[in-house]
Amino acid sequence: MENTAPCTYVRRAVGRTVDRLCSERGISQSGFAAMISVDRSHLNQLINGKHNFTLDMLVKIADGLDVPLAELFSELGELPPSKLALSYNRPEAADEEPGASGARGRRGH
């Protein structure tokens, strides 16, 4: 895996897939941007991992390339989230056992 932040890694992987799919179809980035009604420079920044893809944009891109949405994530394979090394500092509620489910901070309900 690249030595970058996990979300940047995912953005770049999706961007490489979009770029590859365009190339396989003989479509330039400029041509594809016009096809899906997106500014060419914005599409370029998405493909290069400099901006986040929105869900709407991913759907538009998949539709424009005539591929299932999941195909845009194909370079990631079966990479589980744990391999992305995401960590969230979410403290356990004082009245909950670690790993317990249910509403946080509700007592006597």
**Structural domains of the chain sorted by starting position, each given as residue range(s) with its CATH number in brackets:** 7-77 (1.10.260.40)
Task: Decide: 65 and 25 in contact? Cβ < 8 Å.
Answer: yes
For residue 58, the surrounding DSSP H or E stretch is helix 55-65
| Lowest-confidence pick of 13-17, 64-68, 91-95 | 91-95
Q: What is the pLDDT of residue 1?
A: 45
Q: Give the CA angle between residues 77, 11, 50 to the nearest 5°.
A: 160
Give tens-digit pLDDT for 34-81: 999 999 999 999 999 999 999 999 999 999 999 999 999 998 887 666
Mean pLDDT of 74-94: 66
CA distance 62 to 55: 11
Closest CA to 46 of 79, 24, 36, 88: 36
